[in-house]
Structure 1
Amino acid sequence: MATLIRTLTDHSDDVNCCAFSSSCLATCSLDKTVRIYSLNDFTELPYSPLKGHTYAVHCCCFSPSGHTLASCSTDGATIVWDTRDGRMLAVLEQPTGSPVRVCRFSPESSYLVSGAADGSVVLWNVHSMKCYRSGNVKDGSLVACAFSPCGNFFVTGSSCGDLTIWDDKMRCLCNEKAHDLGVTCCDISSHPVSDDEHASRYFQMASCGQDNKIKVWFILFADFLGGELRYKCTLSGHSAPVLACAFSYDGQMLASGSVDKYVIIYETNTGNILHTLSQHTRYVTACAFAPHSLLLATGSMDKAVHVWQLDNKQPCAGNAIEKDSKIRTAENWSEDDVSAWLCARGFAELVGLFKANNIDGKELLNLTRESLTNELKIESLGLRSKILQKIEELRIKTVSVSVAVPDEFLCPITRELMKDPVIAADGYSYEKEAIENWISNKRRSSPMTNLPLPSLVLTPNRTLKMAISRWLETQQKCGETTSF
């Protein structure tokens, strides 16, 4: 059972990361702030929000004691805060000045890692707040990091898809191509697993990526052997890129969040899906378990943070390992899935009617104005129009997750297929509503470059709109999508 016990809506922009200490929950956002809440009643601490970054905050993490918090940002800095009073203890500038995407404390609090968009990785001495060692991944941006339980090794993930094992001397011990389209997050369970073949003690690591997959690995850290990474299995419950993953404190559960707006919780040993959570309305960008309890926090581009209380595991959705799984696009929805979709879209009063007519996902996508009128007997013209509009949006999203959508057809802000693309003064094309919302929030900078927009004029991109329409027609004719 997963119970939603609190929803936090204090951020004014996308939530990028969540982190727990034994007594607090921290969240950070594109709104440039870090917020800290007490776990006693989830009230915000008096000194919160923390304001020190000049651009979006991408990641935050507590030290093992919980007395300090690190946050990193597009501004190229990692800030260390005192969680007892909110004081800024240090500002650690990335030597290259590149935007910092991820930061992590080592388990024994000796080191703090910061990884940047140019692939640079810095190992900071926490006691002196000075750079101890630095290095670079061979390609791509550094976007993910996790420490071994002993603290002598750490793993980084890059946008080119590589996982790299480092020791505390910044020596590269192992490099593995893990996700073809790029790694987005990784986490290491703190509980070892026995491996009979090597008579050694391995740990489990999870990585997730733009390829819609979560991969589970056995990872060995040993001073005399270096690092070893062995593939275990792939979890494929998501139907879109997976942006976040985290192990529970006891290593028995793995949570993940995705562009498909779902949070999925797996049983680690079997790959069984325990829970599928659908309360977020935009991409799920963050998930984190509390260190000593079954509390889970999830963050999203919907600006909300949900806090969940989990109880004992009860597998409910079958095995999610790759060879046995089925991607849950709208075409595969059950009648209960359709009911949940109706409630989320404000049509709760129609649930009984749709269930009485056995409307599953396939039937939903095939509904027309005539069938709503003649078969379901929905008399209100306005209501029929609203339903058809939401179904049309669902059809487009079904296309987006069923086939590889050309990247130029996706809005850079929402990462969804554009319906009404416009060109902004920075030369990039955006979904009209998304860029208008961006500008209306008094942001005159480009979402892509962070540079000031010389003009707020938006020009319809008719050529791109026609190209998207032709592409959708092609997918229909090829039989790769639901018929429109």
Structure 2
Amino acid sequence: MELDIKGADMVLLRSATVKDGSIVACAFSPHGNLLITGSSCGDLTAWDENLKCLYNDKGHDLGVTCCDFSSQTVYERGIEYYQMASCGQDNEIRVWLISFSDARGFGMRCKLTLGGHSAPVLSCAFSSDGQILVSGSVDKSVIIYTVKTGCILTILTHHTRYVTACALAPKHPLLATGSMDKTVTIWKLGHSDELPDFPLEGRAQMNVEAWSEEEVATWLSQEGLNEVEHIFKANNIDGKELLHLTKDSLLNDLKIESLGLRNKLVRRIEDLKSSTKAELPNIPNEFLCPITWELMMDPVIASDGYSYERKAIEDWISRKKRTSPMTNLTLENLLLTPNRTLKMALNHWLERQKHSSQSNQTAPHR
């Protein structure tokens, strides 16, 4: 059934509340007759289409972060089951079998508990055939599992920050992942149950120097500079060459005569350089504030045990009240304790970076 909501009014049918925590995840079953919600306290709740609560129990030891239904049902002993996956702050993914019919009522049991991640799992998604499950985590990895056995097919570690989103295309062998490193990547999966093949797209700004000529051409297209794509291709401009282009080289080497076009190119290239400079240093994760992902200058420890930049966590608390940015759970108190040990380590690291930079600048050129 296709829905035509263009110009139509949205009508609120009904609402319901959970006992504890905040609802942080929800998903409909394939037939739309069942809704699963996950809460920040770890509960999974099942509702029918009238929002009658059918089930409520602890799904994860800590907060639930995501849940997803497979579009394909499975049969066991003549009974049809929905497959639903949930993931949470306990570093685990769980696959559930859910039966729901007028004759048998509601039933839900955990079929598999999947490990492999060393930090909270933020996202999970089924393939369209229900045979593959993918997850993304705070540990910056993406793991692909077989649903039938729970075996890990492969682990992808291309992201440099938390993996916050993942999706498998319904009609194509493609996997998309998104991250707090500001990149989205698309991977082509091999045939059947083979491992992922190669990255199709996804250009991290911090790796501009590693861009291929095709990736530079794609960037030009995205920036509305299609008219110079053929010039860049003809001159074999890759990421490294791109970052060294100037107004003079655009005119003299690439023969781009339009002053306005040259100025626009230079501005876009300078933007890339700024992003590259901001991202390239290999900054240890413990020195980055989990809220802003910027280097901390005044690290403090909150009651959730995590360290944050003081101003960032103070702003967070003023907007979000007493919730933890990392767990979504209520903070026990609003006390912020200076993390002197982390501050000392951070200062040592900054000093080493400074000396290293000075050494590189004074080193004789050959």
**TM-score interval for Structure 1 and Structure 2 normalised by the shorter chain:** 0.5 to 0.7
Question: For residues 313 and 272 of structure 1, what CA distance do their matches in structure 2 show?
Answer: 15
| Matching of residue 246 in structure 1 with residue 125 in structure 2 | yes
Whether 1:194 and 2:75 are equivalent positions in the alignment is yes
Give the letter aligned to residue 446 of structure 1. D
Aligned to 2:145: 266
How many correspondences in the alignment?
Answer: 247
Is the 1:245–1:256 Cα contact (8 Å) retained in structure 2? yes
Asked if 2 retains the 8 angstrom alpha-carbon contact of 1:162 and 1:183, the reply is yes
Q: Runs of 5+ in structure 1 lacking a partner?
A: 1-63, 69-81, 83-88, 90-126, 318-343, 349-388, 398-409, 439-444, 452-460, 471-484
Q: CA deviation at 1:275?
A: 2.3
Amino acid at match of 1:146: A
Find 2:182's aligned residue among 303, 313, 320.
303
CA separation in 1, counterparts of 2:136 and 2:104?
34
Determine the structure 2 residue equivalent to 1:464: 339
* Equivalent in the alignment of 2:61: 180
What CA distance in whole angstroms lies between the structure 1 residues aligned with 2:134 and 2:3?
Answer: 22
Residue 162 (structure 1) aligned to one of 39, 43, 64: 43
Q: Is the 8 A contact 1:215 1:235 kept in 2?
A: yes
Q: What per-residue deviation string (whole Å, max 9, x for no partner) do you get for residues 13-38 of structure 1?
A: xxxxxxxxxxxxxxxxxxxxxxxxxx
Query: What SS class does the counterpart of residue 135 from structure 1 fall into?
Result: coil
Q: Please give the alpha-carbon distance, in whole angstroms, between the structure 2 residues aligned to 1:207 and 1:139.
A: 18
SS at the partner of 1:133? coil
1:393 is aligned to 284
User: Using a 3 Å threshold, how does the CA distance of structure 1 residues 151 and 275 change in structure 2: closer, same or farther?
Assistant: same
Counterpart residue type for residue 150 of structure 1: H
Q: Does 1:421 align with 2:312?
A: no
Partner Cα separation in structure 2 for residue 190 and residue 201 of structure 1: 13
Residues 235/414 of structure 1: CA separation in 2 closer, same or farther (3 Å cut): farther
Give the whole-Å Cα distance in 1 for the aligned partners of 2:58 and 2:70: 20
Compared CA separation, residues 262 and 65, structure 1 to 2 (3 A): farther
Q: Distance in 1 between matches of 2:292 and 2:32?
A: 37
Conserved 8 A contact 1:267-1:313: no
SS of equivalent residue, structure 1 residue 446: helix
- 1 CA distance for matches of 2:117 and 2:87? 11
Q: Which has the larger radius of gyration?
A: 2
SS in 2 for 1:174: strand
Tell me if the contact between 2:299 and 2:338 (Cα under 8 Å) persists in the aligned partners.
no
Kindly provide the amino acid, as one letter, of the partner of residue 127 in structure 2: S
Cα distance in structure 2, aligned partners of 1:164 and 1:417:
39
SS at match of 2:66: strand
* 2:319 match: 450
Alignment of 1:284-299 (within 5 A): 284-299=163-178
Distance 1:178 1:159 in 2: 11
Instruction: State the TM-score, normalizing by the size of structure 2.
Output: 0.58
Aligned CA distance change for structure 1 residues 308 and 150 (closer, same or farther; 3 Å): same
Give 1:290 shift: 2.0
**2:110 — aligned with what?**
231
CA positional deviation for 1:418:
7.1
CA contact (8 A) 2:299 2:342 kept: no
The answer for the alignment partner of 2:99 in structure 1 is: 220
- The unaligned stretches of length 5 or more in structure 2 are 197-205, 211-280, 321-335, 346-366
Output the CA distance in 2 between the equivalents of 1:166 and 1:469.
51
Q: CA shift at 1:298, angstroms?
A: 1.2
Identity %: 55
Q: Does 1:142 align with 2:33?
A: no
2:300/2:338 contact within 8 Å kept: no
RMSD over equivalenced CA pairs, Å = 3.8
Q: Name the CA distance, whole Å, in 1 between partners of 2:99 and 2:339.
A: 49
2:339 counterpart SS class: helix
SS at match of 1:250: coil
Structure 1 runs of 4+ with >6 Å offset:
415-419, 467-470
Q: What do residues 135-158 of structure 1 show as CA deviations (whole Å, max 9, x unaligned)?
A: 011111111111111111111111
Q: CA deviation at 1:226?
A: 3.4
Q: Which structure shows the higher strand fraction?
A: 1
RCO higher in 1 or 2 (8 Å CA, sep ≥ 6)? 1
